[in-house]
Structure 1
């Protein structure tokens, strides 16, 4: 891409000008905090590993700051935006700031929590500044919906980033950590200051990078494993023998399944990695009936 054809990125003046023209008032309900720093969006794209020619799905593009940075490196971008006002404006912004890349961009008006089809070529990467109040369910939903995804990077609330990347046994390890591990190897990829947003959020932000891997089993379903994960953490301080009692149909079947999986019945859920949850789910199939669960 030649320098003259490269997109212009949005800075504080451009973001505020766009917002004023749209009479836009960012809402906490939709987690609307727009990045106003070009160096930050370039850093996000760099950390994501997206390269020229890749197809990227972006969630919550807002006014287009990150979208333009993705187009700058040669990516094709499908942006999912729930706000009709922002979704309608995005094509004009791309045409104005990145006219040479406009044919590599499309916007989909949809809720990323419930979208069931992402049109266009299968995306290889997910890069997004996720709305903080729904970041985990959105990420898990898209990981399940789009098996073509090979890698990605999301910006989320710092505490959520810690939970997503936490290893078994740590204080922050929980349901998000275990479920994300079904799909990918997850790692923390840095922190983002509050002053790069408008309006500035009242929480710190963190980057989470991930690399897809094959499902850890085909003997039981993801829904069955997730049901066991949910039950294991529903009463976090309880030993698994008690935590799984309702799911297994009693403490006896729960203990038998745990022993069959090679897990001490007095172990807590926070000690198990995804492979142990898989082994436990398989054992529970032999000792109890394990229903499926919805992604959370």
Structure 2
């Protein structure tokens, strides 16, 4: 069977579709539409999507990335919060990728609220141009909710990409970096120039690659994340001080930290996700307040 192709959206197509739908891209929804075919081809290639994948795309917008995904993936499920865009997408697939449109499923929903049972086919890959204001919560929610997601590539604001992929000791290492590391190996996968978007945003974008890893601990994730939140709520303080509220007292915080093999004078930004997991585990065995 010969490979079926999709015609990709260029700048004129993007403007025509937006005009037809009466869309003025809004800052509130973080809408910046990609109008460069080479960029979406590059994203799909970097995402290593295969015919075995059911791709979850969040915020497909006018369909630029969707059309590039359809020939590469076995199926694509697009989650779109905007009812006008959600209604138009299947028609765009019919027009630009007629032989492939049956691979597309559109769910009109908020990606922060989707559940595993909303998907007829469990997604195996996340590929998305994410609205900047919700990128981190969306990625964390989907990784938690959809254990079948094995890998992914997301386009986010450059600073967000730095934070998600940061390692301990980095100036931008923080809650997003640690929580993402619970689920996945996260790394930067290259920059994206502003000029590929319409309208041109006033920030740079970057690609973040995700590969699912086993949880670093059998401790409940919520318990570990509570430790992470407490450690970074006062990131300039030592862990003995920062975790005092969480542990019930600074004295107990110190005892828990020592039991976990963590120096109480360390700061949260120096620890890896496995260290935070050990602290959560130790808290179940160290008594007293």
User: Would you say same fold, with TM above 0.5?
Assistant: yes
Equivalence map 1:252-271=2 (5 Å) = 252-271=251-270
User: Which residue in 1 is equivalent to 2:89?
Assistant: 90
Q: Tell me the CA shift for residue 284 of structure 1.
A: 1.5
User: Which residue in 2 is equivalent to 1:2?
Assistant: 2
Segments of 5+ residues of structure 1 without an aligned counterpart are: 290-296
- Which segment is superposed worse, 249-258 or 47-56? 47-56
Q: Name the SS for the 2:245 alignment partner.
A: helix
- Which segment is superposed worse, 12-21 or 50-59? 50-59
Q: Tell me the CA shift for residue 288 of structure 1.
A: 5.9
Q: Tell me the CA shift for residue 47 of structure 1.
A: 0.7
Q: Distance in 2 between matches of 1:53 and 1:249?
A: 49
Q: Distance in 2 between matches of 1:96 and 1:36?
A: 17
- Which segment is superposed worse, 241-250 or 50-59? 50-59
Q: Distance in 2 between matches of 1:288 and 1:135?
A: 39
Q: Distance in 2 between matches of 1:158 and 1:135?
A: 11
Residues 132 and 288 from structure 1, CA distance in 2 versus in 1: closer, same or farther, beyond 3 angstroms? farther
Q: Name the SS for the 1:186 alignment partner.
A: strand
Segments of 5+ residues of structure 2 without an aligned counterpart are: none
User: Which residue in 2 is equivalent to 1:292?
Assistant: none
Q: Tell me the CA shift for residue 115 of structure 1.
A: 1.4
**Does structure 2 conserve the Cα–Cα contact (< 8 Å) formed by 1:249 and 1:288?**
no
Equivalence map 1:53-64=2 (5 Å) = 53-64=52-63
Q: Distance in 1 between matches of 2:171 and 2:2?
A: 48
User: Which residue in 2 is equivalent to 1:153?
Assistant: 153
Please state if 1:214 is matched with 2:214: yes
Q: Tell me the CA shift for residue 53 of structure 1.
A: 3.1
**Does structure 2 conserve the Cα–Cα contact (< 8 Å) formed by 1:228 and 1:277?**
yes
Q: Distance in 2 between matches of 1:283 and 1:155?
A: 37
**Does structure 1 conserve the Cα–Cα contact (< 8 Å) formed by 2:185 and 2:212?**
yes
User: Which residue in 1 is equivalent to 2:238?
Assistant: 239
User: Which residue in 1 is equivalent to 2:77?
Assistant: 78
Q: Tell me the CA shift for residue 142 of structure 1.
A: 0.2
Q: Distance in 2 between matches of 1:288 and 1:119?
A: 44
Q: Tell me the CA shift for residue 74 of structure 1.
A: 3.7
User: Which residue in 2 is equivalent to 1:133?
Assistant: 133
Q: Distance in 2 between matches of 1:288 and 1:244?
A: 15
- Which segment is superposed worse, 111-120 or 232-241? 111-120
User: Which residue in 2 is equivalent to 1:182?
Assistant: 182
Please state if 1:123 is matched with 2:115: no
TM-score in terms of structure 2 length: 0.97
Q: Distance in 1 between matches of 2:34 and 2:120?
A: 26
Q: Distance in 2 between matches of 1:190 and 1:143?
A: 22
Residues 288 and 56 from structure 1, CA distance in 2 versus in 1: closer, same or farther, beyond 3 angstroms? farther
Q: Distance in 2 between matches of 1:53 and 1:100?
A: 18
User: Which residue in 1 is equivalent to 2:274?
Assistant: 275
- Which segment is superposed worse, 278-287 or 19-28? 278-287
Q: Distance in 2 between matches of 1:9 and 1:25?
A: 21
Cα displacement string for residues 37-79 of structure 1 (whole angstroms, at most 9, x for unaligned residues):
0000010111111112311000000000000000122431000
User: Which residue in 2 is equivalent to 1:13?
Assistant: 12
Q: Distance in 2 between matches of 1:131 and 1:106?
A: 20
Q: Distance in 2 between matches of 1:123 and 1:69?
A: 17
CA-based RMSD of the aligned residues comes to: 1.2
Q: Tell me the CA shift for residue 120 of structure 1.
A: 1.6
Q: Distance in 2 between matches of 1:273 and 1:245?
A: 20
